[in-house]
Structure formats: C-alpha cells, structure tokens
A = this chain, B = another copy of it.
C-alpha cells in the first residue's frame, strides 16, 4: 500500500501551490493571486486546483497559515541568535523581529493581520452550526500565539513583573481572562495574561500602522516612533 507515498506527493503539491500563490502575492499583490495565474505558473489548468482546495478562499486561508508559519519560524530563528543574552534582549529581539518581518513582507502581513479573510467552511455547514473547523490557518495562528505566550511565561518565571491583582480587574474582563487561561492551559495569574494582551495590542497596533502606511502622513521614517512604543512595552514589563 503506497498510500503514504501518495499522501506525501499530495502534500508536496499543496506546498507548491502555496509557494506559487505566495510568489504572485509578493510580486503583484493579493488581487493577482488567481486560480488561473497559479495554475498557469505551475503548468496546469485552473480547475485542477479544485482537487486540492474547495475554492479560492480556502486556498488563500491555507496560504495565510503558511505565512503565519514563516513568521513564527523567522522569530524563532532570531531568538536562537540571541539565545545567550538576557530575557530583556530576547524580548526586544522578538519585538524588532516582528516589525522587521512585517515591513519586509507587507503583503504577507496584510493577509494575516489586515482585513480578515472569509471564515473557513461554507455558511450553515450541516451538523457543525458555527462550530470550529480548525483548519491549517487556525493551527498556524495558534502556534504563533503560543510563541509570544511562551516568551511571557519564561519572563514571568524568571523575573515577575508588576501586574494587577485579580480584584483590580473589571469583573467582565476577569471572567474572559479566566476562560482564555483555562482554554489555553496556561499557569499564569490573570493580571499577567492581561498585561500580555495589552503588550500585544501595543505591538501589533504599532506595526500595523507602520506597515499600512498610516503614520506616513506625519513621519517618513516611523522607526523611532516604533522604538518608543517598544520602550512602552519594556517599561510595562519592568525592564
């Protein structure tokens, strides 16, 4: 039974489709990522792609997952480079690395952090009314989230930073944080998770604005402004 070989071949083809789609995305923008163009580049015809994806949206979602993966790998590699340094240096490396990848891959960034993609699965899928489908993109997104969360738990274990006590958190927020913590199986105080989210909002907000050019109205080079945002985050983490 060479079913395994077939599966491997199939996975390789899916990977090549994704690679081709990404190349088109980088070179000519998201609207150039058409089924026909992908097939053309691969020496196939467009309908053949339907053997691998239900439609264009699902293909794009898969690509988004790969992009998440690429970003996560990039950050992991950057962290490897400064593995010997202290936790603060590693944190700053992660922040700057995230910004660097995003600025170097604006169109990829737009796909995963810009206007959201259509959700997986057709609306009103039978039997799974609103249930999570958990596709490739979800998995890779979760892995990315884990990456920063792991950095946080490491920092917290090594040198705890000031966080609000449970009673200081608004009840509605507290309940949601508790649910998130249980859902993720994290062993951190609620205040720590809250600070994590605040830092994430700060970081991704600053990067988004810069990548999408929404600070350009004032600053041609927004890098110093981003450095200040990172300082804000560092201060909040007790650096």
Interface of A is mostly: helix
A197 at the interface (CB under 8 A from B): yes
**Across the interface, do B173 and A197 meet the contact criterion of CB distance under 8 Å?**
no
Tell me if A82 counts as interface (CB < 8 A to partner B).
no
Whole-angstrom CA separation of A213 from B228 in the bound complex: 26
A110 interface hit (Cβ, 8 Å): yes
Q: Which of the segments A17-25, A90-98, A151-159, A202-210 contacts the partner chain? A: A202-210
List the B side residues contacting A221 at CB < 8 Å. Answer: 172, 176
- Count the copies: 2
Which chain B residue has the least Cβ–Cβ distance from A180? B218
Shortest distance between the CB of A169 and any CB in chain B (Å):
8
A215 CB-CB contact with B under 8 Å: yes
Number of interface residues, chain A, beta carbon within 8 A: 39
Contact B218 A197 (CB under 8 A): yes
B219 touches A180 (CB 8 A): yes
Chain B CB count within 10 A is highest, among A114, A172, A201, for: A201
Cβ-defined partner of A214 (8 Å) among B113, B142, B225, B228:
B113
A145 interface contact, C-beta 8 A: yes
